[in-house]
Structure 1
Amino acid sequence: MRIVHVSHTSQRGGAELALVRLLARPSRWDAAVCASPGGDAFAGLPVHGVPVQLDLPGLPGGGTRGKSPALAAKYLSALRAAARTLRDSPLVHEADLLHANSAAAAIICALANRRRRVPLVVHLRDLVDPESLGRFGFEAFTRIGLVRADAVVANSATTLRSAESRIGPGVFQAVLQSPSGIDRRVTTPSVADRVRTVGMIGRLQRWKGQHVFLEAFAHAFAGTDVRARLAGAALFGEAAYEEELREQAARLGIAGQVDFLGHVEDIPRFIDGVDVLVHASTRAEPLGQSVLQGLAHAKPVVATEGGGPGEWLRPGENGLLVPPGDAGALADALRTLAAPGDLRARLAAGAARTPGLLTDDECADAHAAFFGTVLGVRATASGRHPE
């Protein structure tokens, strides 16, 4: 299979890192990446035999959420320019399948592939609603990108449900776990005698809830020797939020207990170094990669209710769930986990037994089977026999 994977950005967002993990496995198909310049997310792929073409025009920031008609028009113009570049790419002319790695990439692919020469797979990595995609982004994606999909793959059942009413009849659909940096699963948990470090992984972005985490941590552990560790960088113009978090930590009197680590390459080592892993998104999370990573490493996990994490966590068995945006409830959960008793050990043992959790290699196998099925269905529909 010759598959061109299209990304609207090459910065290190969750969707881009998931694609890198998928393609950095031993080859299951002949892959290439088309993206815009400006980041280094895909820089390591050529070593794995994956060509990377960074010539798509970049998209203006805020174009999906701004209320300015002029900015929306500028954003749409950039999408069309990216589509023209993609349409003329020799990689696309040789492709058996186009894989749009994000909503914006789906719009670009749909505009470039108007004559439907190549089957288009749209990857749903965000909830399909105005809150997640922005009002303009939602309208453009559902009216241009999603309606031209030959197949749709979602990172969770919640994500797929958010788009079901907008997916056309006969479109092949699947829910597949995204690669989350899981090379192995810990089957024998190692639980410390007490909580010394509480960690959180995620891009520094307001809806990811780092401010909720810091408030909860202060309520539970201010003035103790327990440390908070934040793994994640501020991207896409979000440096102001990072500064706000640092000021919040100082205001709460925990600045000396909080480590801002920026982007962390070795996620397994980070997770192995914490006693409790927190997911604190303030709205429904499409997948919650950090939750999967914590479960794979048999760590006690606290996550917010709704979305993908709720599909994996069974409260009291392999983790705890709290309402989104509720720092008090999160603080109570942290105190409960830090209290004497066997709760952390029981949750860690439950995490190790979580069914259906895939390693990255297994995720690649599942995606290869999905792409092959899409090509087979398309070939059958056109009267050709799939090879």
Structure 2
Amino acid sequence: MNQPLDLGATTAPDSIRIIEDYEAFRRTTVRGAPTVLQVLPALVSGGVERGTVDVARALVEAGWRALVVSRGGPMVHELERVGARHIALPVYAKNPLLWRSTFDALVDLIWQEGVDLVHARSRMPAWLAWRAARRNRVPFVTTFHQRPAAANAAKRLYNSVMVRGDRVIAISHYVADRLLNEYGLDPARLRVIPRGVDLSLFDPDKVTAERLIRLSDRWRIPDGVPVVMLPARVTQWKGHGLLVDALARLERGSCHCLMVGEDEGRRSVKAALEPRIAKLGLTPHIHFVGRCDDMPAAYKLADVVVSASLDPEPFGRVMIEAQAMGRPIVAADHGGARETVLPGETGWLVKPGDPGALADGIRAALTLDGDGRRRLSERAVGHVREHFSRYQMCARTLAVYSELLDGPAARADDGAAAAV
């Protein structure tokens, strides 16, 4: 696995000390502490939002100023608690009537706040932020979180703003390869920075019995039955239907399945599945529990965690969160999963879209004996702590910022977008 920086990783789980010290990045500019502006659609929930808050926290701890522009959301409170500042602007809006006023507001904000670098994390905000950064002659960074596939030329053009950064961060080598091959990105501007887990939060030893009991009672988990968990928003491509078909191939009642994730706005997917679940006789064994506010405890309740995505995951945060909690992961063998799951050591990679292969993977995980589960758990925890910590993600991101601020930025030509 390619690691951009050696940040002192170790391999033995019990020898790892969780230290997040960003003093090496402490610096000043002619105007004082550097100021970084991150731009994204909203601060509601999800991996993009989590990464934004994590980097903002690292910036503050390094003595920098952290600003975030979005339409707002529940995570604004968390952002402000770490010492960052939020500014609400409709950068998410696809209404052309709002673009000019939003662009002008961004230009003014960058100027008035003395912003030294702009970092965009989503496509619509990136179009506005890219031009606003250019107007103020400050470096522009993007992180490509999305699936890079584009069905037509218009979609490719829309995506292309994400490769116009002075530095382009890909969240996996899978995404990086797609950007290089499909968008003509200059490799000199590309950096691969995998997503990271908060090891102080996703720590099996820190989840109390009270937290486990609270979730178990709320979800009415039957005693003595192994738990199979799919943590994902209820959408077609996340593979809920595939998992249902896989469970039908296992002995009836041999496990209890928890579908953990929001289904608001996607109730048709759940509604379409429920008659199928009933026809297969699985209604007592499958429970859609909705959003969970304590995912570390949820993972610890699981005997097996599944990622059944029909399309390749750009990265797949579920895979590293489950392993951080010492849980076996069964995932589709494509996309980012190939970079995070060690087959036969921390989990299983199975043929994508194949319910029989998924059932075999779940069965193999459920039949591990005590020693096998312990060894897998130790290896999984050590693997995530070695390669996928929040500190590593944030330190590598601050290194990209420093690279641009320390010397002449290798600016992308305004007209040199990727081939579209």
Q: Normalised by the shorter chain, which TM-score bucket?
A: 0.7 to 0.9
Q: Do residues 232 (structure 1) and 261 (structure 2) align?
A: yes
1:347/1:58 Cα in 2 relative to 1: closer, same or farther (>3 Å)? same
Residue 357, structure 1, aligned to residue 406, structure 2: no
Aligned to 1:67: none
Q: Is the 8 A contact 2:304 2:366 kept in 1?
A: no
| Gap change, CA 1:24 and 1:211, over 3 Å in 2 | farther
Match for residue 205 of structure 1 among 235, 259, 264: 235
Q: Distance in 2 between matches of 1:172 and 1:340?
A: 45
1: CA distance, partners of 2:251 / 2:77: 40
Q: Displacement, 1:148?
A: 3.0
The 3 A distance-change label for structure 1 pair 111 and 284 is same
For 1:191, the equivalent position in structure 2 comes to none
User: Which one of 291, 298, 313 corresponds to residue 326 of structure 2?
Assistant: 298
Query: Which secondary structure does the structure 1 equivalent of 2:135 belong to?
Result: coil
Contact residue 240 and residue 308 of structure 2 kept, 8 A: yes
Aligned counterparts of 1:141 and 1:345: Cα–Cα separation in 2: 43
Residue 9 in structure 1 maps to residue 42 in structure 2: yes
Report what 1:335 is aligned to: 363
Q: Which residue of 1 aligns with 2:193?
A: 176
What is the CA deviation profile of residues 21-65 of structure 1, one whole-angstrom value per residue up to 9, with x for unaligned ones?
33345623311110124x3233321122111112225435xxxxx
Q: 2:342 aligns with which of 290, 309, 314?
A: 314
Q: CA-atom RMSD, angstroms?
A: 2.9
Tell me the number of residue pairs that the alignment of Structure 1 and Structure 2 aligns. Answer: 356
The CA distance in 2 between the partners of 1:20 and 1:106, in whole Å, is 18
Question: Identity percentage over the alignment?
Answer: 26
Q: Which amino acid aligns with 1:128?
A: P
Answering whether residue 130 of structure 2 is matched by residue 103 of structure 1, we say no
Q: Structure 1 runs of 4+ off > 6 angstroms?
A: none
| Conserved 8 A contact 2:39-2:118 | yes
Letter in 1 for 2:61: S
Q: Under a length normalisation based on structure 2, what TM-score does the superposition of the two structures give? A: 0.75
Distance in 1 between residues matched to 2:138 and 2:346, nearest whole Å: 43
Change (3 A) 1:33 1:335: same
**How far apart, in 2, do the equivalents of 1:239 and 1:92 lie?**
44
CA shift for structure 1 position 206 = 1.5
Given the superposition, is the C-alpha separation of residues 284 and 380 from structure 1 closer, same or farther in structure 2, using an over 3 Å criterion? closer
Are 1:184 and 1:296, in contact at CA under 8 Å, matched by a contact in 2?
no
* Farther-moved stretch of structure 1 (316-325 vs 333-342): 333-342
Are residues 1:159 and 2:159 paired?
no
Partner of 1:23: 56
Distance 1:34 1:170 in 2: 28
Q: Is the 8 A contact 1:123 1:153 kept in 2?
A: yes
Q: Aligned-pair distance for 1:102?
A: 1.9
CA separation of 1:9 and 1:340: change in aligned 2, threshold 3 A? closer
Q: Structure 1 residues 5, 248: closer, same or farther in 2, change over 3 A?
A: farther
**In the alignment, is residue 286 of structure 1 matched against residue 337 of structure 2?**
no
Stretches of structure 1 lacking an aligned partner (at least 5 in a row): 61-73, 189-193, 382-387
Q: CA deviation at 1:91?
A: 7.1
**Distance change >3 Å, CA 312–CA 124, structure 1 → 2:** same
- C-alpha distance 217-40 of structure 1, shift in aligned 2 (>3 A): same
Distance in 1 (alpha carbons) for counterparts of 2:356 and 2:192: 34
TM-score (norm 1): 0.81
Query: Is the 1:3–1:31 Cα contact (8 Å) retained in structure 2?
Result: yes
* 1:317-362 alpha-carbon deviations (Å, 9 max, x no partner): 2210012221221011112222364654443343234273232234
- Structure 2 contact 316–337 (Cα < 8 Å) conserved: yes
Give the number of the structure with larger relative contact order, counting CA–CA contacts within 8 Å between residues 6 or more apart: 2
Change (3 A) 1:346 1:107: same
